[in-house]
């Protein structure tokens, strides 16, 4: 009896291969999707000179990181090549993902990369990972010791793997960061603390696009900071139904160049009667010099009434002026310049000029009769202010002397219920939390 030939025929091998390919292409359920942590590719980190939107990230001085999520595995995912690294050194390659994990799991500082995409699919680093460029340096379970280690390396940064956030970096501040704290709702703009000639709101909206029976503007280009839109709409609506129904917005954002033109025009008109130098002194008490105008930052709004169509101190005696004086703080606005604070602000009584500072700051300033300069000095002096607002909410307002303060980094990482984050315009940082 002859022996049976056990070698598979070529046609059978080809058939089996075709069947396997069809199964991979059709049966998604047969493919195990890799459940991996997101990986931050340093070339995709968008560093920026702007203060962050806290709702997007807890990192001060950076824009929100763009986290690269692991893509859905291709239908032929198991044909990929998985590279096992220990630290920065490639030690082994696998065609099977599970085998790669089993090999790497007991090794210190191991990670697995998909060779084709160079994306990290898995690692066993501790929570806080210290990187220098795209090189792994160290990892620890506590953030502060990791920061101390990071200080020994140039251009390093720390990733919190659990929260998928960049929590610290020592990138060259002169190149990437800015200590400019002229951002947020509470920052000071005056003759001492000016903004640059090219400063403009990070995002603005045209109030003229939102007119209604209670929102009236004097022209079609009434731009304001985007964050002011909702509170001013609510305030004007309540004013209208509260009897102050002749309110008219006549000024919002004003460029440095426009402010220069206004200042020069006023000086020119007074020069014949006062002389040039006296005209300059006089005008400086009611027209902000370019760079010191709150209109340039988009947080100031001027009002008048249909009865007047101009700005005069008589506005404070109108129904609309009285309503704003009594109620604007409820919406985060303050009457920025009052007669009793002229020795501090250098500006005459301007009942028509409102500045948005947000809640609860406006309520505190109203209750304590503080101008913005005084309020910021108080915050800096006491470092922390606890305040219960009229709506029953309890706020904590905390001051930090620098955006590079380690206390600030720790606070941002640990704090909960952050309501607002702002610079003070003088180098400091103000964070408002709500209990």
> DSSP letters along 327-349, please?
HGGGGTEEEEE-GGGHHHH----
Same domain, 134 and 218: no
Q: What span, in angstroms and rounded, lies between the C-alpha atoms of 185 and 172?
A: 27
Same domain, 228 and 359: yes
Same domain, 162 and 216: no
242-285 pLDDT, tens digit each: 999 999 999 999 999 999 999 999 999 999 999 999 999 999 88
Residue 131 tokens, joined: 């990187």
Q: DSSP character for 292?
A: S
Domain assignment present for 262 = no
Domain assignment present for 280 = no
Domain assignment present for 339 = yes
318-348 pLDDT, tens digit each: 999 999 999 999 999 999 999 999 999 999 9
Predicted pLDDT at 406: 73
Give the best-scoring range by mean pLDDT among 63-67, 102-106, 121-125, 358-362: 358-362
Q: What span, in angstroms and rounded, lies between the C-alpha atoms of 183 and 177?
A: 14
Same domain, 430 and 368: yes
Provide mean pLDDT across the span 390-414: 85
The count of other CB atoms within 10 Å of the CB of residue 327 is: 16
Domain assignment present for 337 = yes
What domain range is 408 assigned to?
Answer: 204-254+293-434
Same domain, 246 and 153: no
Same domain, 218 and 321: yes
Catalytic residues: 350
Same domain, 106 and 234: no
Same domain, 227 and 129: no
Do the Cβ atoms of 190 and 345 come closer than 8 Å?
yes
CA dihedral 272, 276, 278, 283 (to 10 degrees): 90
Same domain, 163 and 240: no
Domain assignment present for 179 = no
Domain assignment present for 396 = yes
CB under 8 Å to 86, separation ≥6 — which residues?
A: 104, 107, 108, 109, 110
Q: State the pLDDT confidence band at 29, using cuts at 50, 70 and 90.
A: very low
Same domain, 162 and 97: yes
Same domain, 242 and 115: no
Output the average pLDDT for the chain.
80
| Tally of structural domains, the chain | 2
């Amino acid at each position: 009896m002859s022996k049976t030939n056990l070698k598979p025929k070529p046609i059978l091998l080809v058939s089996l291969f075709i069947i396997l390919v069809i199964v991979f292409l059709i049966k998604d359920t047969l493919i195990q999707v890799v459940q991996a942590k997101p990986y931050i590719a340093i070339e995709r980190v968008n560093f920026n000179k702007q203060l962050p939107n806290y709702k997007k990230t807890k990192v001060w001085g950076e824009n929100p990181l763009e986290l690269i999520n692991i893509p859905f595995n291709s239908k032929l995912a198991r044909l990929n090549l998985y590279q096992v690294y220990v630290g920065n050194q490639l030690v082994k390659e696998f065609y099977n993902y599970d085998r790669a994990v089993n090999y790497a799991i007991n090794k210190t500082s191991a990670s697995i990369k998909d060779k084709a995409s160079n994306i990290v699919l898995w690692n066993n680093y501790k929570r806080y990972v210290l990187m220098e460029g795209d090189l792994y340096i160290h990892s620890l379970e506590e953030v502060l010791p990791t920061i101390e280690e990071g200080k020994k390396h140039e251009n390093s940064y720390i990733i919190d793997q659990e929260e998928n956030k960049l929590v610290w970096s020592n990138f060259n501040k002169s190149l990437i960061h800015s200590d400019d704290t002229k951002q947020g709702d509470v920052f000071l703009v005056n003759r001492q603390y000016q903004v640059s000639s090219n400063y403009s709101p990070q995002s603005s909206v045209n109030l003229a696009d939102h007119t209604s029976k209670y929102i009236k503007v004097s022209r079609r280009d009434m731009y304001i900071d985007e964050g002011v839109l909702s509170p001013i709409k609510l305030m004007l609506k309540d004013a209208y139904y509260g009897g102050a129904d002749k309110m008219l917005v006549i000024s919002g954002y004003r460029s440095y160049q426009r402010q220069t033109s206004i200042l020069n025009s006023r000086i020119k008109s007074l020069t014949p009667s006062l002389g040039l130098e006296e005209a300059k002194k006089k005008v400086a008490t009611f027209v902000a010099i370019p760079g010191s105008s709150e209109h340039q930052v988009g947080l100031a709004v001027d009002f008048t009434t249909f009865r007047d169509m101009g700005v005069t101190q008589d506005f404070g005696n109108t129904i609309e002026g009285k309503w704003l004086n009594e109620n604007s703080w409820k919406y985060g606005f303050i009457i920025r310049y009052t007669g009793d604070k002229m020795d501090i602000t250098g500006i005459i009584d301007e009942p028509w000029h409102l500045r948005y500072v947000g809640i609860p700051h406006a309520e505190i300033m109203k209750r304590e009769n503080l101008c913005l300069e005084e309020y910021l000095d108080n915050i800096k002096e006491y470092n922390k202010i606890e305040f219960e607002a009229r709506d029953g909410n309890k706020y904590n307002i905390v001051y930090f002397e620098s955006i590079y303060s380690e206390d600030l980094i720790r606070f941002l990482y640990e704090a909960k219920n952050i309501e607002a984050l702002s610079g003070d315009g003088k180098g400091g940082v103000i964070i408002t939390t709500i209990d």
